[in-house]
Amino acid sequence: MIHLYYTYLSKENHEKLLQNSLAKFPSDFQDRIKKFRRWQDAQFSLLGRVMLFKGIEEVKKQNCDTSEIKYTMYNKPYFEDSLVQFNISHSGEIVVCALSDEHQMGIDIEAITNIELQDFKSQMTEKEWRTVNDSNDKRETFFNYWTQKEAVIKAHGHGLSVPLKSFEIRDNTTQINDQVFYLKEVNIDKNYKCYISSKINMKEVIVKKYNTISNLI
């Protein structure tokens, strides 16, 4: 089972979040947060980590050491003792965190914004690009594909060393070499696309929204 947590950025609660949460994390993480020039970037990073540990407390009924997070050579975070599998994403004003004690996964959320679609043609397969162009809502169709591809890349774990054009999304599945990945859409906000990807066909995703940052600290 996968649990997904999400919340929205809040400028008015930013200082409160820093004061109540930052000191709980290792010094290297604190330093990284303090180096951000934009409060939004600092809050994205901190909220993702706060929701992760809040989720572990709720799902696993235990606390975990904030220093246990390691990074692969492709910069994907993980717990060395496999306490839980997790992935974090953010876009626009939303931060999402997915976790499971069963299998690796990737999550991506994208705000549906006005972009020049032609700039991304090289990242799509011919069939995907044709589907985008034939769609009544080209922008939404594009973001549907893009979010799925990003989620798959994160589930695969090798980052952008795998070109987005090298695999094709078909009916919420795709394949990279001999590995099959499944996709599940999570409806969070009408102005966003959000997908989770895993090597296991996901039957259930439990979604929890933190209405305010105060609920997290």
Q: Write down all domains in the chain, each with its CATH number in brackets.
A: 2-215 (3.90.470.20)
Q: CA-CA distance, 183 to 175, in Å (whole number)?
A: 11
The average pLDDT across 10-29 equals 93
The helix or strand, by DSSP H or E, that contains position 15, with its residue range, turns out to be helix 14-21
pLDDT tens for residues 154-175? Answer: 999 998 889 999 999 999 999 9
More confident residue, 49 or 79: 49
The average pLDDT across 199-203 equals 90
pLDDT tens for residues 170-189? Answer: 999 999 999 999 999 999 99
Nearest to 144, CA basis, from 125, 126, 128: 128
Pairing of strands 205-210, 2-8: parallel
Q: CA-CA distance, 217 to 212, in Å (whole number)?
A: 10
* CA 94 remoteness from chain centre: 10
% of the chain surpassing 90 pLDDT: 75
**Residue 68: which residues within 8 A CB-CB, separation 6 or more?**
79, 80, 81, 83
- Whole-prediction pTM value? 0.93
pLDDT tens for residues 77-130? Answer: 888 776 688 999 999 999 999 998 778 899 999 999 999 999 999 999 999 999
pLDDT value for 66: 65
